[in-house]
């Protein structure tokens, strides 16, 4: 026990004994003392001179130069104010760089290390936090404009009409299923806008492409070691990707990096990497676009490796075109002596964590993302480790670059029970992912790690009842916000040679039968396309998805979810059975489209009527 705590406890005990001994007399004195304090406070308030109304609340006092430390109470107060108060910078800017004249003379404002010529800033910093407010302007936001794969991207995407006439904005309807308990992770996102399209039409443009995208992750952890260069290999396989039905191809980080895999970037404008040269990359990107597929760049924005050391030997001096210094690093980075603001997320300990609240950082990274789009030809973004910085920064970057496809990696731990097994209810886990999506202003999707974890638990122990939540819906992010869910079985971290969280062996066909027929945007892992029996299954199920017009907002009716099997009917056109049961769809017209390892998929003949509004409001309120 600390000495001060012991003294306080002793004084409290002695005071309690005195109060018990004094009895009513002590209580009377206490009451009189309270009255006296109230009278003195009222007298002081009357003596105060009347003045103008108080101005806006000021931030807590910052530590003066040379001051060694503040009192503990001041530290706590300052930390609370820093977290509660909005960050200055792009989040609240409307206009151009550089800042206004009255702000240029501020000695506390650190300018960029080497400011370049002033340039207009795209409207990425507008304080817009929901998709409703953006769409309420009557203009089409840039991330909803899909570029033609045969045309070079324009310098600035001009406003264009929606794919179909938009109806007035409407809140999300209350769920018709049994009400769920309130999620412990916080409020649900804003409702998505609704359009007046017919039930058979494709959905309107979403943050994850058209809503009918099928994404291929076209690399693994060892791709950087390909003898002839990975870009050249993908160029040779690009036509096969298109024939398989993929509409978007996610490429590995393409910039100069300390690690050969690309996830410790250094010079962002240097495109000569372990995967190949800049010329080979541009050839591949142009080839993918010519085949009608969206090239998706892997953008590592959370951290960046320095090129040099400061006078104390700390690696925090950056080189290349973006020659930042320690002011670009968050101040609470434990390893790299940052001089920026405090981090708005979790620290990544292998490299300097970038402070996205700095105006020059936000400007430089926005220009770089736009350069990847206009100079290289990328049309989509996958953002690495987005837990490291606040979601509103991601929203600024997406609104600035205007990609046709955007997805973030928000990888969080599942909820576990006392037995060490994942809990049946993963509402808290998927709510955290939804909270991040909403913090971007709903302009980006996220990988549905909730669905991946539940598939693991269901397949490993034959607990197919896990695939239906308490409201009768899909238990992952796709059950609440399908147009922002990118469903996966495996990626370069969970599988490949890293195998941090490998999918249950032998259940890959059943897993793809689930994500390729259900709502959300499915993502297929490259290694699985190199297994002949699995590649054939994926191709056949992708063909089913396209021929039957399934998309990210397709309706699902879960017919069965128990210890024997999982059964669902999607859009009244596709039926899926996973597990060991002998179920088959009732009624006529059903045909087996695919039968594999512990899974089967049926379809109705083409042209059969379907139910559900393809482009309607898809968000199921988390209550």
Q: How many angstroms separate the CA atoms of 15 and 30, rounded?
A: 12
Is 409 an annotated catalytic residue? yes
First to last CA, the chain: 43
Mention every residue, 6+ apart, whose C-beta is less than 8 A from residue 288: 149, 238, 241, 249, 294, 295
Q: Print burial letters for 324-359: b (CB count within 10 Å at least 16), e (below 16).
A: bbbbbbbeebeebbbebbebbbebbeebbbbbbbbb
Residues β-bridged to residue 166: 195
Residues β-bridged to residue 596: 599
Tally of residues, the chain: 623
**Run of H or E residues at 599:** strand 599-603
Q: How many angstroms separate the CA atoms of 26 and 67, rounded?
A: 45
Of 81, 24, 29, nearest in space to 58 by CA: 81
Helices 391-401 and 427-439, axial angle in degrees (round to 10)? 50
Q: Identify whether the C-beta of residue 272 lies closer than 8 Å to the C-beta of residue 256.
A: yes
Is 25 an annotated catalytic residue? no
Angle ∠(621,622,623) on CA atoms, nearest 5: 105
Q: Identify whether the C-beta of residue 480 lies closer than 8 Å to the C-beta of residue 430.
A: yes
3-state class of 297 per DSSP? strand
Q: Which of 192, 280, 333, 409 is catalytic?
A: 409
Q: How many angstroms separate the CA atoms of 596 and 537, rounded?
A: 8
Q: How many angstroms separate the CA atoms of 323 and 335, rounded?
A: 20
Q: Which of 364, 384, 396, 571 is catalytic?
A: 384
HSE on the CB side for 548, CA within 13 Å?
32
Q: How many angstroms separate the CA atoms of 512 and 489, rounded?
A: 8
For residue 291, give both structure tokens: 């085949």
Q: Identify whether the C-beta of residue 485 lies closer than 8 Å to the C-beta of residue 477.
A: yes
3-state class of 369 per DSSP? helix
Q: How many angstroms separate the CA atoms of 621 and 179, rounded?
A: 10
| Catalytic residue set | 384, 409
């Amino acid at each position: 026990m600390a000495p001060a705590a012991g003294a306080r406890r002793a004084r409290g005990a002695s005071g309690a004994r005195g109060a018990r001994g004094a009895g009513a007399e002590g209580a009377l004195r206490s009451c009189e003392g309270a009255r006296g304090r109230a009278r003195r406070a009222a007298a002081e308030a009357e003596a105060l001179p009347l003045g103008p109304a108080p101005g806006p609340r000021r931030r807590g006092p910052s530590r003066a130069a040379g001051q060694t430390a503040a009192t503990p109470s001041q530290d706590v107060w300052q930390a609370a104010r820093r977290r509660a108060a909005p960050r200055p910078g792009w989040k609240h800017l409307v206009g151009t760089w550089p800042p206004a004249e009255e702000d240029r003379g501020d000695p506390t404002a650190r300018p960029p290390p080497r400011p370049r010529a002033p340039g207009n800033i795209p409207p990425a910093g507008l304080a817009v936090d929901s998709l409703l407010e953006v769409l309420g302007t009557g203009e089409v936001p840039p991330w909803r404009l899909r570029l033609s794969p045969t045309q070079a991207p324009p310098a600035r995407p001009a406003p264009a009409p929606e794919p179909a006439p938009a109806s007035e904005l409407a809140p999300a309807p209350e769920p018709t299923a049994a009400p769920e308990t309130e999620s412990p992770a916080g409020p649900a996102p804003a409702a998505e806008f609704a359009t007046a399209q017919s039930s058979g039409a494709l959905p309107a443009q979403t943050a994850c492409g058209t809503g009918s995208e099928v994404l291929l992750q076209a690399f693994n952890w060892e791709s950087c070691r390909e003898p002839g260069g990975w870009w050249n290999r993908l160029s040779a396989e690009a036509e096969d990707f298109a024939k398989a039905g993929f509409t978007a191809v996610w490429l590995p980080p393409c910039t100069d990096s300390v690690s050969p895999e690309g996830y410790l970037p250094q010079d962002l404008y240097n495109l000569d990497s372990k995967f190949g040269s800049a010329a080979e990359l541009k050839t591949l990107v142009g080839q993918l676009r010519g085949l009608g597929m969206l090239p998706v760049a892997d953008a590592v924005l959370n951290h960046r490796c320095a090129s040099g050391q400061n006078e104390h030997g700390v690696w925090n001096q950056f080189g290349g075109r973006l020659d930042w210094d320690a002011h670009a690093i968050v101040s609470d980075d434990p390893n790299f002596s940052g001089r920026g603001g405090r981090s708005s997320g979790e620290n990544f300990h292998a490299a300097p964590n970038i402070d996205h609240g700095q105006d020059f950082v936000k400007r430089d990274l926005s220009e770089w993302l736009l350069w990847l789009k206009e100079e290289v030809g990328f049309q989509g973004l996958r953002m690495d480790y987005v837990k490291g910085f606040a979601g509103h920064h991601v929203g600024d970057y997406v609104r600035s670059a205007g990609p046709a496809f955007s997805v973030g990696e928000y990888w969080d731990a599942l909820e576990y029970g006392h037995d060490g097994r994942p809990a049946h209810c993963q509402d808290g886990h998927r709510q955290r992912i939804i909270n991040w999506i909403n913090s971007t202003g709903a302009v980006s999707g996220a990988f549905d790690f909730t669905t991946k974890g539940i598939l693991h638990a269901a397949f490993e122990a034959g607990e197919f009842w896990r695939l239906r939540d308490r409201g009768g819906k899909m238990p992952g992010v796709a059950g609440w916000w399908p147009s922002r869910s990118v469903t996966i079985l495996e990626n370069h971290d969970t599988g490949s040679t890293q195998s941090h969280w490998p999918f249950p062996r032998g259940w890959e066909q059943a897993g793809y039968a689930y994500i390729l027929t259900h709502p959300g945007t499915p993502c297929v892992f490259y290694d699985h396309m190199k297994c002949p029996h699995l590649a054939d299954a994926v191709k056949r199920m992708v063909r089913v998805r396209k021929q039957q017009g399934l998309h990210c907002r397709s309706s699902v009716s879960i017919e069965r979810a128990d210890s024997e099997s999982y059964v669902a009917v999607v859009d009244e056109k596709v039926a899926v059975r996973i597990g060991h049961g002998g179920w088959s769809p009732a009624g006529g017209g059903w045909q087996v489209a695919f039968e594999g390892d512990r899974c089967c998929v049926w379809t109705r003949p083409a042209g059969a009527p379907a139910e559900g509004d393809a482009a309607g409001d898809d968000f199921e309120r988390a209550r």
